[in-house]
Chains A and B, each alone.
Chain A
Amino acid sequence: MAKTIIDAHNVSKTFNPKTIPVHAVQNVHVHIEEGEFVALVGPSGSGKSTLLNMMGGLDEPTAGSVIIDGVEITELPENKLIDFRLHNIGFVFQSFNLIPVLTAKENVGFVLQLQKMPKKEREERVLTLLKEVGLEDKINSKPGQLSGGQQQRVAVARALASKPKIVLADEPTANLDSKSAENLLNIMAKLNKEEKITFLFSTHDQRVIRKARRVITLVDGKIASDVEQTPS
C-alpha cells in the first residue's frame, strides 16, 4: 500500500470573514498518495487554486489541517513552514515566475543554494535538470530571452531541484501553446513515473486532465467528484 503524502483534513477557507465572507473551500477531505499524478479541476472560482495553496502551505486554512508526509504544516510557525516548503515542495506557477535577473542555470540553482548545497554538486544537479527538461543549450539565458514554454520548463526544473516529495502546479499550461504544453506535460509525466514524484495540478486545461491518473473536481469549494482514470 502506497504512503499518504498529502492529507487535507476537513479543510475550509473563508476570505473576508468579518465583512462579506467568501467561502472558497468548504470542509474538503483529500488524501493523495505518494507518486500520484492528480488534476484538481473545476470552473473559475471553484476554489482549486486556494486548495492547492493550502496544500502547499502558501495559505492558511480557516479550519481543518493539512498534513504532508506526516508533518502537520498548518501548525508550523512561518519560518519553519518556509523551510519545509524549501525542502519538500516544488512549485510551478501559471506565469512562470522566474527571477528575471538570473539566468536559467542560476534560477534552478537558487533553490539549491538556499539549501546550502556545495557549489560543485549544485552545478551538476542544475545541468542534469536543465538537460532533463531539454534546455541544456539555454543555461545562460535569462527569462526574457526564453519563450513561454522554455520559461515554464525552467520553472519545472527549479521545482524539481530540491528533490521535493510533491510538485504543486497552478495552471502550468495556461500561458503555453499546444506544443509547449504537450512537451511540458510529457516531461512531468516522465518524472512522475521515473522518480515517483507526486504531482498535483490545479487546471481546467483538458490536455492536463487527460494526462492525469486521478481527477478531483471542485464545485463551489466542495469536492463534486474524485475519480481515477487511465491517462491518454
Chain B
Amino acid sequence: MLLQIAWRNIWRNKARSLVVISSIIIGIWAGIFILSFSWGMYKNNINESVYRQLSHIQIHHPTFGEENDSKFMITQTDEKLNQLQSDDRIASISSRVITTGMITSPTTASGVKIYGINPSSEITQIRLDEYVTEGAYFEFGKDNEILIGEKLAKKLKVKYKSKVVLTFTNVESDIVSAAFRVGGIYKSKNISLDEVNVYVQQQHLQELLELKPSESSEIAILVKDETQIDTIKQLSADIVPQGKVEDWKELSPELSMIIESFNLYTYIISGIILLALTFGIINTMLMSVLERIRELGMLMAIGLNKRKIFFMIMLETFYLTLIGAPLGLLAGWLTVTTLANTGINLSMFSEGLASYGFSSIIYPALDQEKYVIIVIMCLITAIVSAIYPSYKALQLNPSEAIRKI
C-alpha cells in the first residue's frame, strides 16, 4: 500500500512533479552531452596521435629516446619488418629514420625533426597524403623532395617547389647540409606538430646520415585489435631483442593521463550537475512534506510508524528519479548517437582547436561504462536528496502536526 500511496502522492501536484522530472531529464542529458563532447574531443586527439603519429607500438634503440641521435639505430630492419609483417594481427608496419636539425629558407631558419619515411608504407600509417594541401605526396619520386607543414611554410615564407636547406649531424657527428625542394605542403589536425615535423625520402636521409640501407631509427606498428597490443609488444621484443619496445601509452604518457583525468572529470562534472539537481529535489520534496504535515501527523496517529513514513517519502523521491533518469539517459544517448554520426562542426574555432591538437569537427562519444556511472550517481543523488525531507517528516509530533492548518 505504501508503494501505491507514494506513487499516487507524486501525482497530486502534477506540475511540480513534472518540473522535478524535467530537471532530472535535463540534468542527466546535460551531463551526458558535456561528457560525450569532451570525450569526443579527447578521443579524436588520442586517435590522431596514435594512428597518425605514434602508432600503437614503436621500437627504438634503447638509447635513442634519451639522445635522439640517429647513430642509435636498429640494424637489419628489413628482416625484422618482414618477420613482424607476417603476423596477421598487425595492420601495418613501417620503419623511419629520424634526426633533428635546422631548416633554412632564404629568409629564416627553424629547428625541425626530420623524418625519413618510406612514402608507400606510410600511406597506411601516418597517412600524410590525406593532409597535403598544396603540391603532392612524394609524387615525383625525387630524392630531394621534402614535405613540410603549412605553418612551417608560412614561418619560412616558402611555397610549393621552393628550395630549402636541411642541416644536421650524421652518425659520425659531422655537420651535413643538403638542399631540398618543397614537394608538398600539408596541414594536419595538430598545428604545433606541423611546425616542427618535416618528411623526406628515407633512403636519401639514410645516405646523408651515412646509415646503411637496413638501418633505421624507429619501427612503428599499428595492430588490428587494440587488445592485442601487449601480445604484439612481446612478439616485437622477441624479434628485436636489443630494441626498446614501447606502446603508445608509454611513448606519450600525457595521452594516458588524459584518459585517467577524464575519468575524474566524469565524476566532477556529473557531481556538479547532480549537486544542483539534489537541491532542486530537496526543495520540492521539502515543500511536499511541509504541505502534508497534517496528513503525515494523521498517518502517525492511526498507526503508521516513523520508519514507514521515512520510507514513503524516500519512495516518492525515488519514483521521480526513476521516471526522469531513464528519459534523461535516453535523451542523452539519442543525442550522442546522432551527433556521433553527424559531428559538431566547430570550424569557426578550428585554428585555436588545432593548436591544441583538436579537430574542428567533434564527434561526441561516451563509453557504456560512463552511462552506468551516471545512472548510479543519479540513484545516489535521489537517495541523498530524499534523506532531508524524510528526516523532516520524522521530526513531526503527531498531535502538533494534526493541528496544523
Q: Does residue B189 face the partner (Cβ distance < 8 Å to A)?
A: no
B-side contacts of A102, CB under 8 Å:
4-5, 8
Q: Does residue A99 face the partner (Cβ distance < 8 Å to B)?
A: yes
Q: Considering the chains assembled together, what is the distance between the CA atoms of A82 and B296 in angstroms? A: 13
Q: Considering the chains assembled together, what is the distance between the CA atoms of A101 and B6 in angstroms? A: 9
Q: Does residue B196 face the partner (Cβ distance < 8 Å to A)?
A: no
Chain B minimum-CB-distance residue to A109: B1
Secondary structure class of chain B's binding surface, majority of residues: helix
Q: Considering the chains assembled together, what is the distance between the CA atoms of A53 and B397 in angstroms? A: 11
Q: Does residue A56 face the partner (Cβ distance < 8 Å to B)?
A: yes
A-side contacts of B398, CB under 8 Å:
58
- Interface window among B62-70, B230-238, B303-311, B326-334: B303-311
Say whether B305 contacts A83, CB under 8 Å: yes
Residue from B12, B294, B304, B399 with most neighbouring chain A CB atoms (10 Å): B399
Q: Given A93-B402, A106-B1 in contact, is the A101-B305 Cβ separation under 8 Å? A: no
As a 0/1 sequence over residues 1 to 38 of chain B, the CB contacts with chain A under 8 angstroms (1 = contact) are 10011001101100000000000000000000000000
Q: Does residue A97 face the partner (Cβ distance < 8 Å to B)?
A: yes
Say whether B306 contacts A78, CB under 8 Å: yes
B-side contacts of A162, CB under 8 Å:
303
Which residue of the partner chain, among B4, B303, B397, contacts A83 with CB atoms under 8 Å?
Answer: B303
Q: Does residue A169 face the partner (Cβ distance < 8 Å to B)?
A: no
B-side contacts of A106, CB under 8 Å:
1, 4
A-side contacts of B11, CB under 8 Å:
101
Say whether A113 contacts B1, CB under 8 Å: yes
Q: Does residue B295 face the partner (Cβ distance < 8 Å to A)?
A: yes
Say whether A99 contacts B299, CB under 8 Å: yes
Say whether A58 contacts B402, CB under 8 Å: yes
Say whether B12 contacts A101, CB under 8 Å: yes
Q: Given A58-B398, A99-B295, A100-B295 in contact, is the A82-B306 Cβ separation under 8 Å? A: yes
Chain B interface size, under 10 / 10 to 19 / 20 to 34 / 35 or more: 20 to 34
Q: Does residue B348 face the partner (Cβ distance < 8 Å to A)?
A: no
Q: Does residue A199 face the partner (Cβ distance < 8 Å to B)?
A: no
Q: Given A58-B399, A106-B1, A110-B1 in contact, is the A97-B294 Cβ separation under 8 Å? A: yes
Question: How near does chain B come to A137, taking the closest CB pair, in angstroms?
Answer: 23
Say whether A111 contacts B303, CB under 8 Å: yes
Question: How near does chain B come to A100, taking the closest CB pair, in angstroms?
Answer: 7
Q: Does residue A16 face the partner (Cβ distance < 8 Å to B)?
A: no
B-side contacts of A58, CB under 8 Å:
301, 398-399, 402
Say whether A82 contacts B305, CB under 8 Å: yes
Q: Considering the chains assembled together, what is the distance between the CA atoms of A21 and B307 in angstroms? A: 32
Q: How many residues of A contact B (CB 8 A)?
A: 29
Q: Does residue A139 face the partner (Cβ distance < 8 Å to B)?
A: no
Say whether B299 contacts A85, CB under 8 Å: no
Q: Does residue B383 face the partner (Cβ distance < 8 Å to A)?
A: no
A-side contacts of B1, CB under 8 Å:
106, 109-110, 113
A-side contacts of B302, CB under 8 Å:
85-86, 91, 110-111, 114, 158
Residue from B5, B9, B307 with most neighbouring chain A CB atoms (10 Å): B5
Which residue of the partner chain, among A56, A78, A91, A114, contacts B304 with CB atoms under 8 Å?
Answer: A114
Say whether A86 contacts B295, CB under 8 Å: no
Chain A minimum-CB-distance residue to B12: A101
As a 0/1 sequence over residues 275 to 315 of chain B, the CB contacts with chain A under 8 angstroms (1 = contact) are 00000000000000000001100111111111100000000
Question: How near does chain A come to B2, taking the closest CB pair, in angstroms?
Answer: 9
B-side contacts of A91, CB under 8 Å:
298, 301-302
Residue from A58, A95, A115 with most neighbouring chain B CB atoms (10 Å): A58
Say whether A85 contacts B294, CB under 8 Å: no
A-side contacts of B397, CB under 8 Å:
59
Say whether A101 contacts B298, CB under 8 Å: no
Q: Given A78-B306, A82-B306, A91-B301 in contact, is the A101-B399 Cβ separation under 8 Å? A: no
Interface set of A (CB-CB < 8 Å, partner B)? 49, 53, 56, 58-59, 78-79, 82-83, 85-87, 91, 93, 95, 97, 99-102, 106, 109-111, 113-115, 158, 162
Given contacts A85-B301, A99-B299, 12 further A-B contacts (CB under 8 A): A79-B307, A82-B306, A85-B303, A93-B298, A99-B5, A99-B295, A100-B12, A101-B5, A101-B12, A102-B4, A110-B302, A111-B302
Q: Report the 10 A-B pairs with minimum CB-CB distance, sorted nearest first.
A: A86-B303, A101-B8, A97-B298, A58-B399, A53-B399, A59-B399, A82-B305, A58-B398, A113-B1, A91-B301
